[in-house]
């Protein structure tokens, strides 16, 4: 049997796909796994902030189309890049163990968030990070930063920024943990939905492929957390144009959930936090919906309406 993985060409995407390939081949030595490299729209447009492009599936659409055409069998995504609604005929079939879900500050060994000088230039294109940075350090200058992880670090070292904020997971997966100067706790900066989790997408009805991939890769704890966080995202209906975050921590039959929504400047910011009991994935989904609804009723709906006026 042969399984073809559709993957982006970046170092991180290839690392993630190679990791999934290794897990499958280790568990099923008779299965051949091939990587098929595909360029996505998000890889081509590097000079425009993601929020201004306004297109869901920037890093997934071309790979999903290849799956629907039968050119590849599965796709390995950073799950934070996957829209809450998938194309008809496709589904998420497995979820990896979660790498560090937090955000990381890199500054070439010079600063932490507290010690950055007033007016220092910090690089990020994430509306979520921008809004929370403006709450934590309103004196900072926030400058857009695009490109793959290695490109972003190179720009930092060239002196274009005093510091940059990246997902700790990607930096660690590439073996560049020594570049991190500070890890920002979820209490200070709530992570992106599903940050640190790899989502494996496949075709509906490919039961044998799904069985093999789940046995080789799937983490139930990650699946529960992803179910909560993606249900939150689906309910809020926020894409790249909305500063929001949701982070779920699973501990046996309990889930701690932290979530927020904000306007672009961090002036109107609403946060929800709570511990919930659950029995199965259906209840996990309901928890994500309930947290989103509480956030919307607390003022999040007004924020969304104002953001939509500006688009």
In the chain, which ranges are E strands? Answer: 2-7, 32-37, 74-78, 90-95, 103-106, 121-123, 141-143, 163-167, 182-184, 198-203, 244-251, 254-262, 269-277
Separation CA 303–CA 264 (nearest Å): 9
DSSP code for 259: E
Among 30, 43, 55, 81, which one carries the catalytic annotation?
81
**Rg from Cα positions in the chain:** 19
Phi-psi label, residue 141: left if phi above 0, alpha if psi -120 to 50, beta otherwise: beta
- Please name the residues in contact with 108: beta carbons below 8 A apart, sequence gap of 6 or more: 156, 157, 181
Sort strands 103-106 and 2-7 into parallel, antiparallel or unpaired.
unpaired
Is 43 labeled as catalytic in the residue annotation? no
For β-strands 74-78 and 103-106, DSSP reports them as unpaired
Rounded CA-CA distance 192/161 in Å is 22
| End-to-end C-alpha distance for the chain, whole angstroms | 48
Contacts for 88 with CB less than 8 Å, ≥ 6 apart: none
Catalytic residues: 81
């Amino acid at each position: 049997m042969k399984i073809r993985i559709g993957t982006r060409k970046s170092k991180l995407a290839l690392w993630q796909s190679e990791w999934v390939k290794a897990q499958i081949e280790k568990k099923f030595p008779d299965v051949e796994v091939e990587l098929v490299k595909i360029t996505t729209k998000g890889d081509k447009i590097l000079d425009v902030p993601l929020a201004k492009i306004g297109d869901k599936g920037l890093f997934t659409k071309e790979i999903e189309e290849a799956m629907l055409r039968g050119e590849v069998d599965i796709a390995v995504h950073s799950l934070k890049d996957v829209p809450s609604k998938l194309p008809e005929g496709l589904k998420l079939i497995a979820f990896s163990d979660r790498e560090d879900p937090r955000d990381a500050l890199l500054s070439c060994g010079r600063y932490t968030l507290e010690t950055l000088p007033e007016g220092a230039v910090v690089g990020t294109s994430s509306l979520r990070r921008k809004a929370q940075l403006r709450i934590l350090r309103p004196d900072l200058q926030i400058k857009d930063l695009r490109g793959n992880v290695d490109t972003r670090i190179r720009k930092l070292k060239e002196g274009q920024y005093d510091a940059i904020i990246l997902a700790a997971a990607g930096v660690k997966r590439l073996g560049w943990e020594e570049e991190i100067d500070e890890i920002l706790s979820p209490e200070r900066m709530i992570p992106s939905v599903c940050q640190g989790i790899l989502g494996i997408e496949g075709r509906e009805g490919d039961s044998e492929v799904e069985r093999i991939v789940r046995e080789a890769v799937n983490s139930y704890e990650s699946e529960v957390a992803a179910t909560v966080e993606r249900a939150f995202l689906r309910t809020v209906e926020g894409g790249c144009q909305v500063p929001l975050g949701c982070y779920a921590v699973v501990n046996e039959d309990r889930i701690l959930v932290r979530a927020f929504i904000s306007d672009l400047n961090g002036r109107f910011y609403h946060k929800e936090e709570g511990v919930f009991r659950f029995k199965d994935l259906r209840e996990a989904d309901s928890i994500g919906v309930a947290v989103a609804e509480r956030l919307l009723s607390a003022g999040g709906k007004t924020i969304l309406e104002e953001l939509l006026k500006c688009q």
